[in-house]
């Protein structure tokens, strides 16, 4: 999710968490799911009804060595999501939509909250943050579709910008970092348990937390998460850190939320935008680019967005210009191919509540590509990159 500036219960609680998050039975693990080196504690999953799922299947499922070709699904829960059947239906239509775009992957980004930039508490907001049971339902549908899933909790910035518009998730300064990490661990563990039980390929343990990078509490947190989850743990760094090689991620990572700012006119051609993207990516060695995943790429579908594609505040009155978004996406695809970006790409974004068959309620979302020309660009790009 874009930002303004880019924008001790462990093993004993694991079995409880695994049981708690399982809202439906999970199919056998997909081909990419790692086999644990050592057998660890397991939890029996209570038998439950597995409703018939009508969902497409990825024709060429992702496996190591392939690019991740995915979309970012932003999920803020609502009271209607209290029914597992409703969540399942939404998951089916969003995953069908992604597969229709030739995607082999999907990233589910969902918000968690804090009380302000110096708060040492984070939390899941009821009826806004999807529950672990919600996540389990989504993962069950995804497993049926054989689509790769990344789970990605992101710190919401509403409480941060209230006092200062310059504050964002990358500038938080908790009064007690130790307390913040304890709170963060307590929030993450149920979701990591859901990721394990539902065979999510990747769990993003932090996104754009620039001010928290390098903290000595990370190793302990990683150990806690590893006691529950055997999939890929990663971290999404911000675009400015990638450009300046200044990131201090808690785990080795090749993921970047890519929102570079280009000083080009609003009328810039796709060719000019492509050259700008090639220069930005090409500043890094080929060995880096071959492993690189652009974990979030997006731009507002409105004029004069090329110099601040990440901005999401104060732009609601600007006229929508879908061409800007489509040309930006086309340039990104061109540059990925030319610069041999091998990890993959995830486009920002489609709301989990959106119905692709009736997208009108989401037309006011300046960042979505749903039902805009950029949607066709993505489909063509995925076809191109997969071949």
Grade residue 31 by pLDDT with cuts at 50, 70 and 90.
Answer: low
Q: Are 130 and 79 in contact (CB under 8 A)?
A: no
DSSP codes of every residue in 190-220: HHHHHHHHTT-SEEEEEES-GGGTT-TTHHH
pLDDT digits (tens, 9 = 90+) for 7-21: 433 434 444 444 444
Burial class (CB in 10 A: 0-12, 13-18, 19+), 64: exposed
pLDDT digits (tens, 9 = 90+) for 189-240: 999 999 999 999 999 999 999 999 999 999 999 999 999 999 999 999 999 9
CA distances from 214 to 95, 242, 250, 256, 283 (A): 36, 16, 7, 17, 25
Grade residue 29 by pLDDT with cuts at 50, 70 and 90.
Answer: low
Structure token digits, residue 117: 């930039």
Q: Say what the pLDDT of residue 39 is.
A: 36
In the chain the domains, ranked by start, together with CATH numbers, are 65-386 (3.20.20.80)
Q: Say what the pLDDT of residue 28 is.
A: 57
Q: Are 339 and 297 in contact (CB under 8 A)?
A: no
Question: Is the previous residue joined to 234 through a cis bond, with omega within 30 degrees of 0?
Answer: no
**CA–CA distance, 153 with 203 (Å, rounded to integer):** 9
pTM of the model: 0.89
**CA–CA distance, 296 with 300 (Å, rounded to integer):** 13
Query: What average pLDDT does the segment 27-41 reach?
Result: 48
Mapping DSSP to helix (H, G, I), strand (E, B) and coil, where does residue 269 land?
coil
pLDDT digits (tens, 9 = 90+) for 47-106: 333 455 678 999 999 999 999 999 999 999 998 888 899 999 999 999 999 999 999 999
Structure token digits, residue 79: 């009271």
**CA–CA distance, 342 with 327 (Å, rounded to integer):** 22
The answer, yes or no, to whether residue 30 has pLDDT greater than 60, is no
Structure token digits, residue 56: 């497409």
């Amino acid at each position: 999710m874009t930002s303004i500036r880019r924008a001790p219960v462990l093993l004993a609680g694991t079995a409880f968490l695994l049981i708690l998050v399982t809202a439906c039975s999970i199919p056998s693990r997909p081909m990419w799911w790692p086999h644990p080196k050592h057998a660890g504690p397991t939890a029996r999953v209570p038998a439950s009804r597995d409703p018939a799922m009508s969902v497409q299947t990825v024709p060429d499922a992702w496996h190591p060595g392939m690019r991740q070709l995915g979309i970012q699904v932003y999920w803020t829960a609502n009271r209607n999501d209290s029914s597992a059947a409703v969540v399942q239906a939404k998951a089916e239509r969003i995953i069908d939509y992604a597969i229709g775009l030739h995607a082999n992957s999907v990233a589910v980004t969902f918000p968690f909250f804090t009380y302000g930039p110096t708060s040492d508490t984070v939390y899941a907001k009821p009826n806004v943050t999807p529950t672990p049971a919600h996540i389990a339902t989504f993962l069950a549908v995804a497993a049926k579709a054989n689509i790769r899933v990344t789970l990605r909790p992101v710190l919401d910035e509403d409480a941060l910008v209230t006092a200062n518009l310059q504050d964002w998730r990358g500038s938080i300064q908790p009064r007690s970092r130790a307390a913040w990490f304890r709170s963060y661990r307590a929030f993450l563990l149920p979701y990591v348990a859901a990721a394990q039980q539902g065979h999510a390929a990747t769990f993003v343990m932090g996104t754009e937390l620039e001010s928290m990078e390098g903290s000595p509490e990370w190793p302990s947190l990683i150990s806690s998460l590893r006691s529950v989850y055997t999939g890929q743990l990663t971290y999404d760094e911000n675009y400015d850190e990638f450009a300046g090689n200044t990131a201090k991620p808690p785990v080795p990572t090749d993921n970047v939320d890519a929102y570079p700012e280009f000083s080009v006119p609003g009328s810039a051609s796709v060719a000019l935008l492509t050259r700008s993207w090639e220069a930005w990516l090409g500043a890094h060695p080929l060995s880096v680019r071959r492993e690189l995943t652009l974990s979030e790429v997006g731009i507002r579908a409105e004029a004069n967005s090329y110099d601040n594609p990440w901005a999401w505040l104060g732009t609601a009155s600007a006229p929508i210009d879908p061409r800007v978004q489509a040309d930006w996406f086309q340039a990104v695809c061109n540059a990925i191919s030319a610069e041999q970006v091998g990890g993959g790409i995830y486009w920002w974004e489609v709301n989990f509540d959106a119905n692709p068959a009736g997208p009108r309620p989401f037309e006011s979302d300046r960042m979505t590509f749903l039902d805009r020309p950029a949607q066709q660009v993505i489909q063509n790009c995925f076809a191109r990159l997969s071949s």
